[in-house]
Each structure stands twice: as structure tokens, then as C-alpha cells.
Amino acid sequence: MRQRETLDEETERFRARTKRSLEVFNHSREIAPFGVHSNYRVLDPYPIYGSRAEGSSLWDSDGNQYLDFNLGFGALVTGHSHPTLVEALKDRLEKGALLGVEFEDSDKLARILAQRFRVQGVRLSSTGAEATMHAVRLVRAFTGKNKILKFEGCYHGSSDAMLVSVKPKKERSGEPRHPTPVPASRGIPQESLANTIVAPFNDVEAVETIARENKDDLAGMILEPIPMNMGLVLPDKGFLEALRAICDQYNSLLLFDEVKTCGKYFGGAEERFGVPPDLKVMGKAIGGGFPLSAIGGKKEIIDAIVPGEVAHAGTFNSNPIAVTAGITTLTEILTEDAFSQASKKSDELGRGCNDITRDNHLQANVTFDGLSGIVSFNPKKIRNWRDFQESDVGTWFTYYIMMLNRGVIPAGTGPDEQWTVSVQHSKEDIAKHLEIFKEIAPKLRERGIEMQIVEAL
């Protein structure tokens, strides 16, 4: 009951400090569903609307300043409006934003990506969703097979083939170790489900069984090496290695969706775990806040992209603005040293959140690794989607709105999202985040069960 009262009080406080956002919301929803142009920006009672951002801070339409640890759902590891990037793009804009022919610096960016992320061939796109769509088609074309195995709870963009079992409800999901494919949206033909099979994350035996059942037509597996759309789920020791071996056994391709993880570690997930996929998809952070994605992988697979045979096209692919942003971001801003410093700050935030949740006997888990982490109001360590579903969404929402009201955007919008620490966050920003969490933690206490600490691997 007390928590309900706290949420009501905080909601009223939110309304009082975001009156302009409410005006924008009411006007916007007359023409745009829910007043936003991405479903992941929906927030109850209404979204905050931003007006500007700089460094580690964002200002809303009411002039409220927030320390931003959402950072465009992890896309802004550069932070907001990095001066080096701003200067480079001013110069580029004067020379043309879109040429209609291949931009001469595209090759330079492709080679930077190839070296940094250990791939032999590269094709550039604009968004992560585009890149995963093209990559899945490429996997099927190269192998001559049809079925793609994905993992329950993982999100790989909005193509029909991948909008399967993204956030499925238990009553529709079937057996935990042999999940039923569930469409994540109306409008997806039943036929689209036939070639997408679903497995539980972190269960090697279940994956082996499902792969064996489909071995004759299994084109490949796609996964986030660290799922970041059901919290932040670290793979069990040996899990990624086992997937590599299964794909090799059945002549299938292993595809890492690194739209997020390529911006959490300097060299991405392969550097972090030492497991090489056949293909990887990169996006978000590599563009410094501009739409940029890439498919990278073995040369013989990338070379299967042939006009008239295997499609890959886009008007805005490798446009000069995105390419210049990518080159500047990867060579001048997201350096190895910058990643190291930001990672130390994220670790500090994670350890601090651990201490606060433990000291206040919150029923919660804190998991952190690389540049990200998450506070999950869950009685146990999250290893897969079924575990995530045990999370207390009500407590999370109370936590989120309380942090907003005190000037901190603690993570992406939703209990399945994590924080990101940028290269522009300071030690003082981390201290402020922890100070606010420490202030509100006593009000979040419900059941005096001490948290289970999940340390970074």
C-alpha cells in the first residue's frame, strides 16, 4: 500500500514539473499514436519531450535538466554534442549531405570497422533493424537453407522474420526449454513464423536439441552475445563457445547482433568473450548519434551480396554525414583509453548500486559489465527471458519516475533496459546518480529480502 501511495505522489510531482511536456503530448497524439514516433518512447502518464542536450545532460521542454544514462538507448557513448564531432560535421555539411554516388570516405570507414571488430568484409547501412534484416537474408542465401534460430526475449529489429518471441507472455510461450514462436506484433503472417525457431538463452542442452531437430534446414543462429532487451544477461561460461560448435556441426552460420555490444566494449563482444561469429551486425554507438550500421564478417559470406542475386541497398547507406560521424567517432572519440575510463566509471556505478540495494534490503539484482548495467527488481539472477518475467515492474516504474523527478534518467525507458556511461560522464555525474538512488531507496523497500549481487564477470 505504501508503495502505491509513493507512486501516486511521485506521479503528481512528475505532472507538476512537466506541464509543457503534457501540452506537447496532447498536441502530438492528435496526429501520432501515443504522441511518439517509436513505441519504446511511450511512458505513463506521458513521455517527457526533450529540447536540447550537451555532454552528459539533457533538457526537457519545461527546462528541467537531467543527467542522462539512457543516451539514446546506448547509441550515444560519445555523449551529447561532442565538440569534436560537431566540428567535423559542420565542415561536412558545407560539402554536401547526400551525394547519390558512393562517398569516397566509405572505404576508410569500412576498413576502420574491419580492423576494430575483426571482420574481413563490410557493408554499410543506416539502422540496426536494416542491418539485421539484410544479415538474416544473407545467412539464408549463403547456406541455401531457410530456418533461423533466435533466442526468446532477444530483439533484432522490426522485420517480420525477427519480430518473434521478443517479449512473449508465458501463457503463449509453451515449454521453457522448447519455446513456441510467438509473433511480437499483429500484422505478421503466420507463414513468417514457419522459418523462425526459438530457443532459451543460456541453456546449451535445449539449444542442441532444437538445432538437431532442424539440422537439415538450419541456416544459422542470431543472438545478442549479451541480451540487452531483457535486462543485461551475461552468457554462462562456455555458452557462446557451445553455440559456435553447434553451428559448425550443422554447417550453419553464427550471427552476432552487436548493435548494442559493439558500443559497450572497444572491440565488441568478440574481444570480450573470444568467440568469433561468422557475421556480426554493428550499429548505434559507431555513428556517434547519427544513423549508421554495418554488416561485417568473413569475406566469402559478405561477397555473396551480388546485384540481382542477393539484395542489399539503401538511398542513405554510407551517406557522407553518417560516414564522417562514424570515422570521427571511432578514431577520435571512442578510443581504447576513452573506453577504459568510461568502463571504470560504469563499474563504480554498478558497485555503488550494489551497496545501496544491499544496505536497504531491496529485492533486486544489479548486473554490470562494460559500459552498462541494470538494477532489476527481481529475486534471482536473470539468465533468460523466463527469469526476467519474474521482475517487479511496479517497483521498477516507481524507481524510474522517482529518479526522473530528481534529475536523473537512470536507464532506457523500461525495466528491460540498462544504463550506459558515456565518455563525457564525469565522476561527479556517477556520484550524483548514486546520491539520488541512495535517497529514494528506503521508499522502494517492500519485502526485506537481501539482494543477490551479480558481479561483473
pLDDT in tens, 327-373: 999 999 999 999 999 999 999 999 999 999 999 999 999 999 999 99
Q: b/e string for 399-408 if b means 16 or more Cβ within 10 A?
A: bbbbbbbbeb
- Under a CB-based contact definition with an 8 Å cutoff, are residues 231 and 377 in contact? no
Q: How many CB atoms lie within 10 A of CB 94?
A: 8
For residue 233, the SS3 value is coil
Strand locations in 153-243 (E): 174-175, 178-179, 196-199, 218-223
| Cβ neighbours of residue 321 closer than 8 Å, sequence gap 6 or more | 89, 92, 93, 97, 98, 290
Vertex 39, ends 287 and 47: CA angle to 5°? 95
Catalytic residues, by residue number, are 155, 257, 284
- What's the pLDDT at 123? 98
pLDDT in tens, the chain (457 residues): 566 788 999 999 999 999 999 999 999 999 999 999 999 999 999 999 999 999 999 999 999 999 999 999 999 999 999 999 999 999 999 999 999 999 999 999 999 999 999 999 999 999 999 999 999 999 999 999 999 999 999 999 999 999 999 999 999 999 999 999 999 999 999 888 899 999 999 999 999 999 999 999 999 999 999 999 999 999 999 999 999 999 999 999 999 999 999 999 999 999 999 999 999 999 999 999 999 999 999 999 999 999 999 999 999 999 999 999 999 999 999 999 999 999 999 999 999 999 999 999 999 999 999 999 999 999 889 999 999 999 999 999 999 999 999 999 999 999 999 999 999 999 999 999 999 999 999 999 854 333 334 444 3
pLDDT in tens, 158-207: 999 999 999 999 999 999 999 999 999 999 998 888 999 999 999 999 99
pTM: 0.95
- What's the pLDDT at 447? 42
- What's the pLDDT at 379? 85
Phi-psi group of 174: left, alpha or beta (phi > 0 → left; psi -120 to 50 → alpha; rest → beta):
left
pLDDT in tens, 47-67: 999 999 999 999 999 999 999
C-alpha cell at 299: 569475406
Q: Is 111 exposed, middle or buried (0-12, 13-18, 19+ CB in 10 A)?
A: exposed
- What's the pLDDT at 5? 81
Domains of the chain: 2-77+336-454 (3.90.1150.10), 83-333 (3.40.640.10)
